[in-house]
Amino acid sequence: MYRAIKWMILIALVIISFSGWVWGRVYLDIDSPTLQKIPIAVTDVLTLTNEQWGKGTDTWLSGNLSAALELTGLFQSIPKEAFLEDQKPRPFSVDTIHFEDWSAIGAEYVIKGRFNVLPGGREMVVTWRLFDAVERKMVLEKQCRGRTDNRGDLVYPFVDDLLNALTGERGIFDTRVAIVQKKGSTWRVISIAFDGTGLASLMAGDALVITPRWSPDGKQLAYTSYQDGQPALYIRTINGRQARKIASFPGINLAGPWSPDGRKLLMTLSKDGNEEIYVMELKSGRLDRLTNHPAIDVSPTWSPDGRSIAFVSSRSGAPQIYVMNSDGSNIRRLTFDGPYNSSPAWSPRGNRIAYEGRKDGFFQIFTLETDGSKLVQVTSGSKNHESPTWSPDGRYLAFGVRDGGAYSICVSNSGGTGLRVLYESKDPCRSPIWSPRLSSSHILEAQPSISSLLTR
């Protein structure tokens, strides 16, 4: 009898304490995170060789790194005056760094570096380390080697790896923007790096050149030129002098973008009566017509998966943007706001299309979802903004700006913030086209790196 009662009491206690446990946890609801740049501290790079080589290089390296990080629009460099860490020992590893000194000033990440000038004095090796001050660990280490004044080799490869570790996408420091410029009587296609430096001429001549288009591997350029007297379509390699003629039909032959696999080229031809969109298979030369309408159809752009094409058509009475399948079927109108919309550019992320649209007398850049929703105005002001082009990671837009007699090419984040001038000139320059990633290191190999964020 008593044994039975003991068991009953035991079971009752178990059941009641069980219910108490379920009752215990309270949940808090937190929504709306704050969008804020990542606060990062970049320390001066310490030299391991003779002190005299260190003069100026330590700040030159850290200064360029800070500038590159700020250029991405994702980071906020903490000023050096705020640093609490002792300058003398300059700890370099997880065990020796006092992370409290860094989180106390609000730094979420800390970058440290060591450099070594190689014998001969012309090249150096920099070892960069990225530390996470919140989780107190090293995220990434990278060695860069290059000429002592070449930040492209010494700084940017590390920034690329850093961006890959923290945001999942490499930076775009190895991309360039091609621009058409008329200097006097010479027409040039120039290219400029993402940070505004490294101006180079891709081609120059007396003949009018328009609509340059990078191939997906960055090695060739398609464009339309009047060099043979009529607007014909050419393709040339970036460094070569030879150009081969691809299309020279009667009427206009306007170069359009390459397909994502590089095998086809879109073009606008007027050989069949009025401007229509065609696609040519480059190897065989086979031409397929995509649009068939008495209105003007121009300015095609491919979706990143190659399955859709957006273009401009005046079939509604004024230029508006339409979308169709890559075989020309299923044409539907995309833009309904504004009296004049053209120059569509499809984001490499696939979800949005940028275009120029007339509003209140001036052209502005807009973006909207591919289903036509969520229209965003990217630029504003009493100037004309034209020809938007996306960066390969879909984060930035470059476009031409015309303000009376002043011409410039500007870059901003896809939402419109962080506007800066990439190139400006008194000579007309227009038609910016963003290149794909140009360095071979963007081809990701399966590398075991210390990017330990991946292990979670």
Return residues touching another protein (CB under 8 A): 1, 4, 7-8, 11-12, 15-16, 18-19, 22-38, 73-75, 103, 108, 134-135, 166-168, 374, 376, 395, 413-415, 417, 453, 456
Q: Name which of 28 and 446 has its Cβ closer to another protein.
A: 28
CB of 441 to another protein, least distance (A): 22
- In order of 4, 138, 250, 321, 359, the CA distances from 298 in angstroms are 90, 52, 16, 10, 21
CB of 159 to another protein, least distance (A): 15
- Please report, as a single letter, which amino acid is at residue 70: E
Q: Name which of 214 and 355 has its Cβ closer to another protein.
A: 355
**Nearest alpha-carbon partner for 384 in 370, 404, 411:** 404
CB of 336 to another protein, least distance (A): 20
CB of 34 to another protein, least distance (A): 5
CB of 305 to another protein, least distance (A): 17
Q: Name which of 341 and 412 has its Cβ closer to another protein.
A: 412
Q: Name which of 37 and 183 has its Cβ closer to another protein.
A: 37
Residues 6 or more apart whose CB falls under 8 angstroms from that of 255 comprise 211, 212, 213, 222, 223, 224, 233, 234, 265, 267
> Do strands 341-346 and 396-403 pair parallel, antiparallel, or not at all (unpaired)?
unpaired
- Token digits of residue 429: 């320059």
Degrees, nearest 5: CA angle 272-275-278: 75
CB of 22 to another protein, least distance (A): 6
Residues 6 or more apart whose CB falls under 8 angstroms from that of 240 comprise none
Q: Give kind and range of the element (H or E) at residue 119.
A: none
Residue 396 is classified by DSSP as: E
Q: Name which of 234 and 366 has its Cβ closer to another protein.
A: 366
Helix axes 156-167, 57-71, angle to 10 degrees: 40
Q: Name which of 150 and 452 has its Cβ closer to another protein.
A: 452
CB of 128 to another protein, least distance (A): 20
Q: Name which of 38 and 287 has its Cβ closer to another protein.
A: 38
CB of 167 to another protein, least distance (A): 5
Q: Name which of 55 and 136 has its Cβ closer to another protein.
A: 136
Q: Name which of 168 and 250 has its Cβ closer to another protein.
A: 168
Sheet with 264-269, side-by-side order of all strands: 253-258, 264-269, 276-281, 287-289
* Residues belonging to the chain: 456
CB of 70 to another protein, least distance (A): 12
Determine the Cα–Cα distance for residues 260 and 441; give it in Å rounded to an integer: 19
Determine the Cα–Cα distance for residues 391 and 378; give it in Å rounded to an integer: 15
Degrees, nearest 5: CA angle 41-39-348: 115
For the chain, give the longest Cα–Cα distance: 113
CB of 333 to another protein, least distance (A): 24
Q: Name which of 210 and 375 has its Cβ closer to another protein.
A: 375
Residue 440 is classified by DSSP as: G
Degrees, nearest 5: CA angle 271-276-282: 80
